[in-house]
Amino acid sequence: MTRVVLGSASTGRLRVLRRAGLDPLVVVSEVDEDALIASLDADTPPEVVVAKLANTKAVAVAAKLPADVAADCIVLGCDSMLFHNDALSGKPGSAEAARRQWTSMAGTTGYLLTGHALLRISNGVITHTDSETASTTVHFGTPADDELAAYVASGEPIHVAGAFTLDGLGGWFIDGIQGDPSNVIGISLPLLRRMSSRAGLEVLSLRRRNMKPRRQRPD
């Protein structure tokens, strides 16, 4: 059975995959994202930055898989950042940084970029690698001062890329998007389907093999 391994601690990504019928094994990469970004050239395109982060995470996870999983699996590495005003923004990390982020992007448009890396592993050897970045255009609303204060106080925007969510409290302040909504949450299902196909795996087959068994309802 080809196992699906998610190299991310993101509850949003895990939720997207589970709702799509997968129940992946979660293995956190523990990659130092800030150090990796600092090592890149300043003129590295934003799409390449998130792709490099995703690939580094996937490789780090692949290196520590137990033998039974590495016998037949795919490893998914992802990284999401917001490209806005010609700059990339990750997780704010503090309430003040989240407030500043929202002050700058309220009423404007940004691009949520998610780098995706897929490794196929057979008998402990990486036999296929793929990397691609998905972009979704996000139109931000303008929360009132008291609304923004309450949102920041909730703690949600502090720990998510770009200081917002689409499927959480932040959804109140997103006026619209153009593109794949699952990408905004952290993993693009359409892109994952295409990448799986290029690895020789049909996503519906992965779904059957990795989904949780349904409980039988009593008659």
Active-site amino acid positions: 79
Phi-psi region of 30 (alpha: psi -120 to 50; beta: other; left: phi over 0): left
CB of 173 closer than 8 Å to CB of 145:
no
The partner residues of 140 in beta bridges, in order of sequence, read 174
Q: 19 — phi, psi (to 5°)?
A: -70, -20
Neighbours of 160 (CB within 10 A): 22
Burial class (CB in 10 A: 0-12, 13-18, 19+), 146: exposed
Pairing of strands 174-178, 72-84: unpaired
Residue (of 79, 184, 204, 180) closest to 131 by Cα position: 79
The single residue listed with the structure tokens 């001062």 is: 145
